[in-house]
Structure 1
Amino acid sequence: MPRFTALLILCALPLLAGCGSDGGSEAERMAEEHEGDTPTATDAAQAPEIPVEGRTVDYGQEDGTAHTGYLAAPANVDSVRSAQGGDALPGIVVIHEWWGLNDNVRAATRRLAGQGYRALAVDLYGDAVAETPDSAQALMGQAMEEPSRLVENVQAGRAHLASKADAPRTALLGWCFGGGMTYRTLAAEPSAFDAAVAYYGTPDPLTGDALQALEAPILAHFGTQDRAVSIDAARSFRDRMKDAEKPLSYHEYEAGHAFANPSGERYDPAAAEQAWARTTDFLRTHLYE
C-alpha cells in the first residue's frame, strides 16, 4: 500500500486526535466551519479578464517522484509583456485550500493568470482531492505530519517559476489551509518572495526570529466571524507585524471562514469581490511597479 494512502487511512480513523499536533486542532476547527460544504465548482467562479491557457506541469520532485501542479498563463504572453513593458511575466505560487488542488483552485489560478501572471498551483496532497469535509480533514491532518516537506514543495514551485518561466518576481498566495501554508513558508523563507497574499490562514508561524527576518510585504484577509482562524488571532498577528515594523495590508470582513470560495456555504460575494480587488491591486504594486 502506498505510504500516502496508508497514512490517510490512519488519519481518517482517529479524527478526534487530529492526526498531528500541528495540524490536528486547526483541521478540526476547519471541519466545523466547512460542515455541509462540497468542493463543487459553481457559476459564481469568475472567468479571467483575458484569454488564458492552463496545463498540468511537473515542477520538482521528492524521493524521485515528480510534484505535479497546474500552470496557467495568458494565451498571448507576448502581448501582455509588451503592454507591461517587461521581458517576462511575474509569477505567483498558488496554494490550495484544505480540499486539495481541485477545479475551484484551477479556476482561481486561471483568473490570477488573467491579470498578467504565470500562476502555478502547487499540490501539497500528492494528487489527492477531498470531496467531503471528513476526507479534507484527514488529508490536511496527514499533510501536516511533516510541514517541512510542504514548505519544500512550495519552494519547488517558486524555483520552477524562476528557472523555467523566467519570472523576474514571484508572489505567494493561498486560501484556508493554503493561507496558513503561506505564513509557514514565509517563516521558513523570509526573503524568497516579493509579496504574499493570505486568505483566512493561521498566521501563528510568523513570530520571533522568523518575523524579524521577514522581507516580503503581506496582504492578509480575515473574516470577523471565522471560527477556524479567530479574529483575535488575526488581530494579534496584525499587532505583531506593526510592532516589528513589517509591511502589512490587513483587512477584516464581516464574513466567516472561506468567504471567497464560491462552492462553500459561507461564500460572501461582496466580501469576495472586495478582497479580490485588493488582491489584484496589491499584486500589481509589488510585482509590476
Structure 2
Amino acid sequence: MKKLLLAITLFAVTGSLHAQTASCCHSDAITEFAGLANSGSFVMQHANPLPYTYAGAEGQTVTFPATDGKEASGFLFKAKSPSNLYLFVYQEWWGLNDYIKKESEKLYNDLGGKVNVLALDMYDGKTATESGEAAKIMQATPRARLQAIMEGALKHVGPAAKIATLGWCFGGGLSLQSGLINGRQNVGDVMYYGMPEKDVEKLKTLHAPVLGFFANKDKGINPQVVAEFKKNMAAAGKSLTVYTYDADHGFANPSNPIYDSNATREAYAHAIAFLKKQFGVK
C-alpha cells in the first residue's frame, strides 16, 4: 500500500512549468499521468529493474548549465567525427541508470557513430532500484527543473545543432516535450509509450515528425489515448507514425519481466530507420 500511495502522487502537479520560453509537461498530460497512477494495474506494470552494471567505455559524463542557474549533466557518446547532429535520450522513471547508458550506446553504434548521443540526467545523479524509491525521487524533482535541464541541453549543443529525441514511458512524454522546446532545431521525436501532449495549439508548433510505439495491453496509455493523440496531431497538421504491439507497458525495457523481445526488435528497427532518415545519415 505504501508503494501504491507513493505511485499515486508520482505525477502530481508540484509547480507550473510555464516560463518565458516554450513550457513542457502541459498540465493536461500531468493530470492524465496522475490519474494513471491511481490505477493499481498500471502501477504494477512498473516492476523493479533486474540488476545490471554498464561496462562500456565509449561514453562519458558531461556537465552544462541549466537555465535555472544550476548545473545539469548527461552521459555523452560523442560522434567519431565532429558533428552537429544530436540525439537526446530520456530516461524512464528509474533515472539515468546503467540500462539507459547501455541503450544509448546501442543507439550510438547503430547510428554509425555519426550522431552525438546525449542521455540527459533528469534526476541530477539520483537513480532508483525499487518502485517506492523511484516515486520519491520523482516527487522531489520539480517540473520546472525538468524544463531547465531540457532548455540547458538545447543551449549546450548550440544553435547549429540538429536534434532528435527518444525516450521511454516518463521519458517518452519528455521526448515530445523536448521536441517542442527544441523548436526549429528539432528534426524528429521518438516516443515509447509516453504520455502525448494534448494541447493542439502546442502541437502546431512542432517542426518535425513524431514516431510513436504503444502497447495494446497498456493499462494507462491505452488505445483510446493513442487514438486521441492521432486525432490531435491530425488537427495540428503534423506528421505522426504509430506502431502498436500486443504487449504491455514497458515492453521495450530489458530489465522488466514483461519485456517483449519481438516487439522491441521490430520497434527498434523502425526507430533506427526513422532517426537515420531524419538525420540524413546512412
* 2:170 match: 177
The equivalences for 1:146-225 within 5 A come to 146-162=142-158, 168-203=161-196, 205-225=197-217
The answer (yes or no) to whether the contact 1:12–1:138 under 8 Å persists in 2 is no
Which one-letter code corresponds to 2:45 in the other structure?
E
Matched length: 256
Cα separation, 1, equivalents of 2:107 and 2:267:
13
- Shift in Å, 1:276: 0.6
| Deviation sequence 1:115-144 (CA, Å, 0-9, x none) | 13111111111211011012122222333x
Following superposition of structure 1 onto structure 2, how do residues 117-136 of structure 1 map, counting pairs within 5 Å?
A: 117-136=115-134
Aligned partner of residue 89 in structure 2, secondary structure: strand
* Identity rate, percent: 30
Distance change in 2, residues 1:276/1:13 (3 Å):
closer
Cross-structure match for 1:232: 224
Q: Is the 8 A contact 1:67 1:126 kept in 2?
A: yes
Match of 1:141 in 2: 139
- Using the alignment, how far apart are the partners of 1:156 and 1:216 within structure 2? 20
Q: Tell whether 2:255 aligns with 1:277.
A: no
Q: What are the Cα deviations for residues 171-211 of structure 1, in whole angstroms up to 9, with x where unaligned?
A: 011111000112233445543411111100000x2422101
User: After TM superposition, what 4+ stretches of structure 1 lie above 6 angstroms from structure 2?
Assistant: none
**Alignment partner for residue 52 of structure 2, among 22, 37, 41?**
41
Gaps of 5+ in 1: 1-10, 79-86
Write out aligned runs for 1:49-128 (5 A): 53-61=58-66, 64-74=69-79, 77-78=80-81, 88=83, 90-114=85-109, 115=111, 116=113, 117-128=115-126
Distance 1:132 1:238 in 2: 34
Q: TM-score, normalised by structure 1?
A: 0.79
Structure 1 SS opposite 2:204: helix
TM-score w.r.t. the length of structure 2 is 0.81
Gaps of 5+ in 2: 14-29
Offset of 1:52 from its aligned partner?
Answer: 7.0
- 2: distance between equivalents of 1:25 and 1:39? 27
